[in-house]
Structure 1
Amino acid sequence: MWTVKQVSERTGVSIRTLHHYDAIGLLRPTQTTEAGYRLYDVQALERLQCILLFRELKFPLKEIKNILDSPSFDREQALEQQITLLCMQKERIEALLDLARGIQKIGVNTLDFSAFDTTKLDEYAQQAKATWGTTEAYREFEQKAEGRTRAQELATGGQLMDIFRQLGEVRQQAPDSPEAQALVAALRAFITEHYYTCTPEILRSLGEMYAAGGSMTENIDHAGGEGTASFACQAIAAYCRGL
C-alpha cells in the first residue's frame, strides 16, 4: 500500500489532484485508515495510469469516469485504443514540426498533401496563418490554392510525389547527372506552377528540408525508395550551384 504522498511522489500527480479524484469518485483510495490517511494498492495505481493516459488524450474527467466505471470496460482494449490515439497525436505533432521547420527556413511550407488527412491540414493551417501569412510566397500559394477542390489538392500532391518517384529511379546516378538535373528543373517548375515562385534560395532550402528527417523525408523515401530524399537534396544543391 502507498500513502497519497507516496503516490504523488511516484507518479508526479499532485496530492491536491489525488484528493480531487477521490472527491469526484474517479480514483478512490483502496483503504482509509482510522487516522484518515488514504492508502492505494496496485490496482488503484493501474487505474490511475489509465486515467493519466486518457488525460493525455484530452478526455474530460467525467468522461474518463464513465469509461472506467462501465461494466463493459476492457482495460486491454482501452489500452489498444489509447495507443492508436497517441500514434495519431504523434503523427500530427510530426506534421506540425515539419510545418514549423518550413516556416523557420523559408516562410512557407510545401507538403505531400496526400500524406495527411486534409482535416488535419485545415487545423494547423489556421494556426500557422498568423505566423507566415504575410510572406509574399504564402500570398502566392494562397492565390493558387484558391478554388482548388480537395480532390485537386490530392491530385497535385500525387503529381509532386511522382517527381520524387522519378528521382528515386535515378538515385544511383551522380546528383549532377543530366537525368537528375532535368528532374530537379521539373520539380522547380512544378512548385512554381502549383504553389509559389520557387527561387533558387527557396529551392535550396526545400532540398535541405527534404533530407532533414521527419514525415517529409519518410514520404519522399516512400515514393522513390530509401535514400531518395537525401539524393534529392544533393541534386538540388548541384542544380543551384549551376544557376
Structure 2
Amino acid sequence: MADDRMPLTVGQAAERLGVTVRTLHHWDAEGVACPSERSGTGYRLYTGADLERLERVVIYRELGLGLDAVRALLDDPTVDAVAALREQNAQLEARIRHLRDLHGSVQRMIEAHERGILMPPEQQKRVFGTGWDPSWPAQARARWGDTPQWRQYAERAASRSPSEWSGLSQESRELDDALARAVREGTLPGNPRANDLVERHRALLSQYFPLTRQMQVCLGRLYESDPGFAGHYDSQQPGLASWFHESIDANARAHGVDPDTAEWE
C-alpha cells in the first residue's frame, strides 16, 4: 500500500479503502487500527504500514468478524489465525451457496412473471395434453399481467415442478368431466351437486391465486362470453359454458354475493 503519497490523511485513507471517515475514527477509538503519525497541526496521518493493517481489517470485517476478533487476529500471538480464517471461509462458502440458491429463485420468479409456466412447449404438451396450446400462458400474461393475481400466480409457478403441474392438470380434467356429466344428467344450477362443483372449481383455481366468490362470478361471465373459454367448455358438453356460468351465479347468491354487481376483488 505504501507509495510516494504517504502518509495519508483520514479522508485520503478512507477513500483509498472504500470506507467512511467515521469508520476509521471508530477503529482508531477502539484501538483496532490507529494512525501512527500526526501532522504539524495535529491531524491523524496513516503510514504505509498503517494502510496495510487497515486493509486486513477491512477484509476481516467483510468476512463478518467483530472488532474484538479482528484485534485478536492482528495482535494476539496465541490466536490461531489460520483456524479462525478457515472457519470464516466455511461461513463465506455457505453464504455463497445461499446467494446462488437465492439468485436461482429470483431468476425463476422473473421467468415465471414473463412466461407463466417454466417448461418448454413440448414438455407443456406432455404434461397438459395434446390439446394444450403453449401460447396460452403468453396470452394470459397479456390479458392479466398487470394484476396482483398474475403476480401471485407467477410466484407460485416459479417453484412448481412438472409433476405438480401434472397433478393440477389432472384435477382440471377430472373437474371438466364432472361438470360435463352433471349437465348430461340434468343437474340444475343451484342444486347441491352443482354448488359442490362450483366450490371444487374455486378450490382448484385458488392453487394458482386466491379466488374470491366475486372473482369467480367474473370468471363465470368470461366462460360464457369469451369464444375461447366457451369453446373449451362446450366441447366437453354442449351448453356447459352457460350452465357453468349460471351455476357459479347461483352458488354466489347462496353465499350472499350479488352476481349482477360482483367485481374482480
Normalised-by-shorter TM-score class: 0.3 to 0.5
TM-score, normalised on structure 1?
Answer: 0.46
Given the two structures, how large is their TM-score scaled by the length of structure 2?
0.42
Q: Which has the higher contact order (CA 8 A, sep 6+)?
A: 1
- Name the larger-Rg structure: 2
